[in-house]
């Protein structure tokens, strides 16, 4: 809708609004170009999708400045017209109306193709805009460029902050590796720490040259992978440091456990021999004597070179020691169980014999025969547990049968 200037006040207000808008546009453009994100994009040698997006944005930005120049020229022309007379006349009002409200701003000329042209038609198509339309076009361009600048800046800040933390973590890991001895941690240093440091440096370069490739999910995935690897290296080095710091204690603990194995071996051997004396066909197997090998490995631990080798050897020996303890404990329990089974059968027999006496059937010929057989089996060395169990079951059934009412 065409604006009408009904009074000098309305004219002054419109001009003041345009002049104020001109100042705010200029400030916004200057702020955009002084933004760290714009500086990073305009000074770096960009690659990848960021280079492509910035090339497009740079053309839009150039067009934005060109449009702003047109805007300034129109506002300047309007101010000149206004300054001709203290109170503008019809002629000045009409000119101001044309400048400030009508589509009188030429922003582009394009040739009309032969296929579209008529015999007497125009050979050029001229794009004309109002000052409002020009402002809207600048707003759209500014928003598009700002979005790119802010996105790149936010990505660079986030990634570089994370990389700084990662680099510090890797540096600490490197110092710990050096403290443990470079030669002793060669694999960690060359393969893990050095590789991580190189990848962090490379990612830092990518963050400068192609930050959009690290935006949002892509960047988070890359950083998470690096953080996981740095965490694994740090944890491994911390474990080695713990082995180093507690080395003497670990050796003392292993030595004490090996001595305990010797005690367990003697106890198991005694229990096994006793069970073999008391129980026929006990089926007990003599556990292998692992003490010589364990003592030899224990003695060799201090001579190993490097904390990784020592940590691995201690872990492996700990597993062997635990296996030996478990093996001897199981063998001991198996021997003791046989002896306990014999004692249990004896107790159950005495209980059923007492029951038979109460029922008055203890002196029954069948009961006496089973009684004698069970005593022979359970109170004679070595004891046949299987036969004694069968005889006791028969005695139980006999006593239970005799105890039922006729």
Look at residue 62 in the predicted model and tell me its pLDDT: 95
Whether the per-residue pLDDT at 114 is higher than 90: the answer is no
Q: What is the DSSP letter of 286?
A: P
What distance in Å separates the CA atoms of residue 336 and residue 281, rounded to the nearest whole number? 15
List of residues 6+ apart from 345 with CB closer than 8 A: 378, 385, 388, 389, 392
The pLDDT value given to residue 2: 41
For the chain, the domains span 8-108+125-150, 153-244, 247-326, 340-402
Task: Check pLDDT > 90 for residue 20.
Answer: yes
Q: Could you report the per-residue pLDDT of 179-223, keeping only the tens digit for each?
A: 877 555 556 566 788 889 999 999 999 999 999 999 888 888 999
For helices 131-180 and 36-43, angle between their N-to-C axes, nearest 10 degrees: 80
pLDDT of residue 1: 39
Distance CA 191, CA 337 (A): 54
* pLDDT tens figures, 318-363: 999 999 999 999 999 999 999 999 999 999 999 989 998 988 888 8
Other CB atoms within 10 A of residue 272 CB: 21
The dihedral sign for the CA sequence 318, 323, 328, 332: positive
Q: Calculate ∠ Cα 293-298-304, nearest 5°.
A: 115
Question: For 231-247, what is the mean pLDDT?
Answer: 87
SS3 content of the chain, % helix, strand, coil (to 5): 80, 5, 15
Q: How many CB atoms lie within 10 A of CB 84?
A: 11
Query: Is residue 358 classed as helix, strand or coil in its secondary structure?
Result: helix
Q: What is the pLDDT of residues 261-303, one digit of tens each?
A: 999 999 999 999 999 999 888 888 899 998 999 999 999 998 8
User: What pLDDT is attached to residue 41?
Assistant: 94
Write out pLDDT tens, residues 63-74: 999 999 999 999
pLDDT, mean over the chain: 87
- Yes or no: say if 297 and 313 are a contact pair by the CB < 8 Å rule: yes
Place of tokens 């198996």: 334
Could you tell me the pLDDT band of residue 25, with boundaries at 50, 70 and 90? Answer: very high
Structure-token pair, residue 144: 């598009």
The model's confidence at residue 11, banded by pLDDT at 50, 70 and 90, is confident
Q: Residue with structure tokens 């005694």?
A: 270
Mean pLDDT on 93-101: 84
Q: Which residue has the higher pLDDT, 89 or 170?
A: 170
Residue 50 · residue 152 · CB < 8 Å: yes
Q: Does the pLDDT of residue 176 top 90, yes or no?
A: no
Q: To the nearest whole percent, how much of the chain has pLDDT over 90?
A: 53
What would the mean pLDDT of 17-44 be, rounded to a whole number?
A: 94
**Mean pLDDT calculated for residue range 48-52:** 94
Q: What is the DSSP letter of 83?
A: T
Residue from 391, 335, 333, 397 nearest 361 by CA: 397
- Does this model's pTM top 0.75? My answer is no
Q: How confident is the model at residue 305 (pLDDT cuts 50, 70, 90)?
A: confident
Collapsing DSSP states into helix, strand and coil, what is residue 150?
Answer: helix
Closest CA to 133 of 176, 102, 169: 102
The b/e string for 200-234 (b: 16+ C-beta within 10 A; e otherwise) is beebbebbbbbbbbbbeeebeebbeebeebbeebb
**Could you tell me which of 37, 58, 28 has the C-alpha nearest to residue 154?**
37
Residue 58 has pLDDT above 90, yes or no: yes
Q: Where are the alpha helices (DSSP H) in 83-130?
A: 90-100
Within 83-216, residue ranges assigned H as helices are 90-100, 131-180, 186-187, 194-209
**pLDDT, mean of residues 108-137:** 76
* pLDDT of the residue at 359: 87
- Whether the Cβ atoms of residue 349 and residue 374 lie closer than 8 Å to each other: yes
């Amino acid at each position: 809708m065409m604006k009408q200037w009904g009074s000098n006040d309305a004219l002054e207000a419109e001009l003041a609004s345009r002049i104020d808008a001109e100042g705010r546009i200029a400030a916004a453009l200057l702020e955009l170009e002084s933004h760290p994100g714009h500086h990073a994009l305009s000074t770096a040698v960009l690659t990848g999708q960021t280079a492509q997006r910035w090339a497009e944005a740079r053309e839009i930005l150039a067009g934005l400045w060109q449009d702003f120049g047109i805007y300034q020229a129109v506002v300047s022309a309007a101010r000149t017209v206004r300054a001709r007379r203290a109170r503008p006349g019809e002629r000045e009002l009409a000119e101001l109306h044309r400048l400030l409200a009508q589509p009188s701003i030429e922003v582009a000329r394009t040739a009309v193709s032969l296929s579209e042209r008529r015999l007497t038609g125009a050979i050029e198509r001229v794009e004309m805009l109002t000052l409002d339309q020009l402002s809207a076009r600048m707003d759209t361009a500014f928003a598009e460029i700002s979005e790119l600048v802010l996105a790149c800046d936010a990505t660079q800040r986030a990634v570089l902050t994370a990389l700084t933390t990662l680099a510090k973590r890797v540096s600490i890991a490197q110092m710990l590796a050096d403290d443990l001895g470079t030669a002793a941690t060669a694999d960690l240093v060359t393969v893990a720490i050095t590789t991580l440091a190189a990848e962090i440096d490379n990612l830092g370069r990518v963050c400068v040259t192609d930050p959009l490739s690290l935006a949002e999910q892509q960047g988070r995935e890359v950083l998470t992978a690096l953080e996981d690897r740095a965490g694994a290296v740090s944890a491994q080095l911390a474990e080695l440091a713990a082995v180093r710091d507690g080395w003497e204690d670990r050796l003392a603990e292993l030595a004490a456990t090996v001595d305990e194995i010797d005690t367990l071996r003697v106890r198991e051997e005694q229990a096994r021999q006793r069970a073999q004396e008391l129980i026929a066909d006990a089926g007990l197997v003599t556990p292998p004597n692992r003490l010589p090998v364990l003592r030899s490995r224990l003695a060799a631990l201090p001579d190993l070179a490097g904390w990784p080798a020592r940590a691995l050897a201690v872990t492996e020996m700990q597993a062997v020691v635990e296996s030996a303890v478990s093996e001897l404990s199981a063998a001991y329990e198996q021997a003791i169980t046989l002896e306990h089974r014999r004692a249990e059968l004896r107790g159950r027999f005495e209980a059923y014999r007492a029951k038979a006496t109460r029922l008055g059937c203890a002196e029954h010929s069948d009961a006496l025969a089973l009684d004698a057989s069970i005593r022979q089996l359970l109170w004679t060395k070595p004891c046949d547990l299987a036969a004694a169990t069968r005889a006791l079951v028969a005695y139980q059934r006999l006593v239970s049968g005799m105890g039922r009412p006729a």
